[in-house]
Structure 1
Amino acid sequence: MSTLKDRMSDGLYGAGWATVKKLPEPVATALGRRIADVVWKRRGPSVLRLEANLARVVPDATPERLAELSKAGMRSYMRYWMESFRLPTWSAERVEHGVDLKDVHHLKEGLAAGRGVVVALPHLANWDLAGAWVPRALGVPFTTVAERLKPESLFDRFVAYRESLGMEVLPHAGGSAFGTLARRLRAGGLVCLVADRDLSASGTEVTFFGEKTRMPGGPAMLAQQTGALLLPATLWYDETPVMRGRIHPPVDVPETGTRAEKTVVMTQALADAFAAGIADHPEDWHMLQRLWLADLEERPERDGGTA
C-alpha cells in the first residue's frame, strides 16, 4: 500500500506539471481556486490542522473567522501550486516583475560586501517564485536544502524543478548539506532556507505566538561559523498577480555566550520576524502540519504537507 501511495503521489505531481503549465493562466487560476474550495469544504485533516495552527496566530478569532481564514489559506496554498506548476514556462521578465520585494537593500549590501548571506523564511506565499526571482533580478545564484520525499522519484522531480529555476538544491538528509552551505557562504555566496519547521527533531526551542516550538538552528549556526549575514524574509499575496515580500533587518550574532546560547537568541529573533509577517498575512502561511510542541505530544495524525 505504501508503494502504491508513493507511485500515486508521484503520478499526480507529474500530471500537475505536465497539464497545468499548458492551461491558459485564467483557467489555471480558476481551477486552483475550485480545488481549494472543494478541499476546504471536505474538512479533512489538512484543513483542520491549518485552522488549529491559525487559532494560535489569531487567538481572538471566532470560529467563523477561523473558517474564513482557512478557506483563504487553502486558496493561497493552491495559488502556490498553480504558480509552481507553471513557473518553468514563465519568461525571465515575467518572473522578475512577478515579485515586489521591499528593503532588498539589506540583501544587496550583504552580497556586495562579499561576506555571504543566509536568507531564512517561513512557509509564506510562494518561496519557489521568490527563489526563481533571485537569480533573474539580482544576477546571483543561490543554494538551498530540500526535504527528502518519498518516493525517490518525487524527490528527484522536485530537485530537477527547482534546479531549472536557478537553484542549487542539496538533500536535507545525509549530513553533508551543512558543510556545503558553509563553503558557499565563505565564498561570498547566497543561501536561502525555509526555516519555520524543524525537520530533525533536534531543533532549537523558541517561543512562537506565545507557545513553545522548535525551529532549525542551522541558519544561526551558519552565520556564526562563516561570518555570513543572517536575514529574515517574509512573503505574502495581495489581490494582484504580483507576490509581495520584505527583507527584514539583519539578525546580529550576540557578543557573549556559548555557540548554543547564541543559536537560541538568533533563532528566537528569526521566529519573531516570522511571527510578525505571519500575523500580518495569516492566510498565506501554508502550515498544514503540527508545529507546536504541545501538538506534537498528542497522538499522531495524518497532517497535510508542503513541499
Structure 2
Amino acid sequence: MTTDSTDTPTGTRAQWLEDRALRTIIGTALALPYKQRVALMGWLVRKVIAPRVGYRKRALDNLAYIWPDMPEAEKARIADGVCDNFGRAFIENYSVRDLLARADQTSLTGDGLPAIEQARAEGRPVLFVTGHFGNFEAPRAALVRQGYQIGGLYRPIANPYFNQHYAQNMHDLSGPVFEQGRRGTMGLYKHLKQGGMAVLLFDIYDSGGVPIDFLGKPAPTLTSAAEIAAKTGALLVPFFGVRQADGLGFVAEFDAPLTHDDIVDQTRAMTAALEARIARHPEQWFWIHRRWKPKRQRRRAAATTAP
C-alpha cells in the first residue's frame, strides 16, 4: 500500500506525546543548516538519547555477544559511532531535498552498475537489497538524481503517529512505498512486474525466518527478498551507502546481481555482502537492533524439541 498522508492514525496518548516530542526535535534540527543539523543529531543521539533509552547498552551487549574478546574500549568506540551514525542517518532521511541535492556528490561504484543500467533500458525490474548500514537511503537518493524511480517495502513503526510521517518521508524521496504485510507485498509484486525498481531491507529479526549465520551467530532471516525476485524476474542487487570520514558524504556500492538458484543461498549471499561492509566499518551498522535474540531462539528451539 502506498502511503496516504490524509489518513488519520489512532494510538495511545503516550504514543501521541512521544510523536510530538520527536516532531519537535526533527523540526528544530531542520531549521538549522544541513551540516549543522546532521552533526547535531549525531551528537544528540550519541550523548543524550541513546544512553537514556538503552540503545548504547544494546549496542554494547550485541558487540559482546558477537565479539566477546574485543577490548572494552573498542566496543565503547564502536557503540558511540553506531549511535552517532544512527542520529545522522535519521535526520538526513528527513532532509529529503538536501539529501537529494547532496546525492550529486555521491560516488557510485561496483560491478552491479552496468546490470542496473541495462535493466532500466530493457524495462526489467530490479530489487535492491540492503541492511541498516551507513545510510541505506543514500544509494537510493543517488539513483533518483540520475532519473531512476525506486520504491520500497518497509516495516511500519509501532507508534502509528510517528509511522505516518516516517512512511510519507520515504515516499517523498521516490515512491511508491509499500507497508509490510499481505497487501503491501502484493503492491510490491505488481510494481516489480511492471518493470519497477524497489528496495528491501533484510537484516531484521523475524521468528518466521530461516536461521542464517550473521557475524558467526544464527539470526532468523526472512527469505522474502529472494522469493520476490525469483517470482517477478527482478535482478537482485545488494547495495550499501557507506558513510565517509567527513560524516556527511557517501559512496554508494552496488554489488553484482545475485543468481536465483536457491532462495536460502541467495539470502546467505546478501548476508555475506553486509558482513563484508561491517568488517570494514563496524560502527556503521545499527547494532542497536535486536538482531539475534539468543534467549528467544533458545526458548523456541526447546519448545520444538520438547516431547
- Per the TM superposition, whether the score is higher than 0.5 is yes
For residue 163 of structure 1, the aligned residue among 145, 164, 171 is 171
Residue 207 and residue 156 in structure 1: after superposition, are their counterparts in 2 closer, same or farther (change >3 A)? Answer: same
Residue 112 and residue 23 in structure 1: after superposition, are their counterparts in 2 closer, same or farther (change >3 A)? Answer: same
1:15 Cα offset (Å): 1.7
CA distance in 2, matches of 1:41, 1:270: 28
Partner of 2:45: 36
Contact 1:106 1:250 in 2 (8 A): yes
Partner of 1:10: 19
Which structure 1 segments of 5+ residues have no match?
255-261, 300-307
Does 1:271 pair with 2:271?
Answer: yes
For residue 89 of structure 2, the aligned residue among 80, 85, 93 is 80
- Give CA-to-partner distance per residue, 1:77-128, whole Å, 9 cap, x none: 111123223x23427443322x222123342233333321111000011123
CA distance in 2, matches of 1:54, 1:214: 18
Residue 228 and residue 59 in structure 1: after superposition, are their counterparts in 2 closer, same or farther (change >3 A)? Answer: farther
Does 1:191 pair with 2:198?
Answer: yes
For residue 112 of structure 1, the aligned residue among 118, 121, 132 is 121
1:297 Cα offset (Å): 4.0
For residue 67 of structure 1, the aligned residue among 54, 69, 76 is 76
Contact 2:26 2:91 in 1 (8 A): no
CA distance in 2, matches of 1:91, 1:214: 33
Quick one: which amino acid aligns to residue 104 of structure 2? E
Quick one: which amino acid aligns to residue 138 of structure 2? L
CA distance in 1, matches of 2:61, 2:268: 22
SS at match of 2:176: strand
Quick one: which amino acid aligns to residue 192 of structure 1? V
Question: Sequence identity, in percent?
Answer: 22
CA distance in 2, matches of 1:14, 1:30: 18
Segment drifting more, 28-37 vs 75-84: 28-37
CA distance in 2, matches of 1:230, 1:25: 33
Partner of 1:146: 154
Does 1:95 pair with 2:103?
Answer: yes
1:56 Cα offset (Å): 5.3
Contact 1:58 1:279 in 2 (8 A): no
TM-score by length of 1: 0.84
Does 1:285 pair with 2:285?
Answer: yes
- Give CA-to-partner distance per residue, 1:273-300, whole Å, 9 cap, x none: 111111111101013122115243479x
Quick one: which amino acid aligns to residue 197 of structure 1? I
CA distance in 2, matches of 1:60, 1:233: 30
Quick one: which amino acid aligns to residue 266 of structure 1? Q
- Give CA-to-partner distance per residue, 1:143-169, whole Å, 9 cap, x none: 212222233222111122111112211
SS at match of 1:127: coil
TM-score by length of 2: 0.84
- Give CA-to-partner distance per residue, 1:53-92, whole Å, 9 cap, x none: 234555542111101111111111111123223x234274
Contact 2:126 2:234 in 1 (8 A): yes
Quick one: which amino acid aligns to residue 225 of structure 2? P
Q: CA RMSD in A?
A: 2.4
Partner of 2:249: 242
- Give CA-to-partner distance per residue, 1:255-278, whole Å, 9 cap, x none: xxxxxxx22111111111111111
CA distance in 1, matches of 2:234, 2:194: 10
For residue 182 of structure 1, the aligned residue among 180, 184, 189 is 189
Partner of 1:135: 144
Quick one: which amino acid aligns to residue 212 of structure 1? P
Partner of 1:259: none
CA distance in 2, matches of 1:154, 1:65: 34
Partner of 2:232: 226
Residue 31 and residue 154 in structure 1: after superposition, are their counterparts in 2 closer, same or farther (change >3 A)? Answer: same
CA distance in 2, matches of 1:298, 1:215: 16
Q: How does 1:37-52 map to 2 (within 5 A)?
A: 37-39=46-48, 42=51, 45-52=54-61
Residue 297 and residue 239 in structure 1: after superposition, are their counterparts in 2 closer, same or farther (change >3 A)? Answer: same
CA distance in 2, matches of 1:235, 1:142: 15
Which structure 2 segments of 5+ residues have no match?
1-10, 300-307
Residue 234 and residue 129 in structure 1: after superposition, are their counterparts in 2 closer, same or farther (change >3 A)? Answer: closer
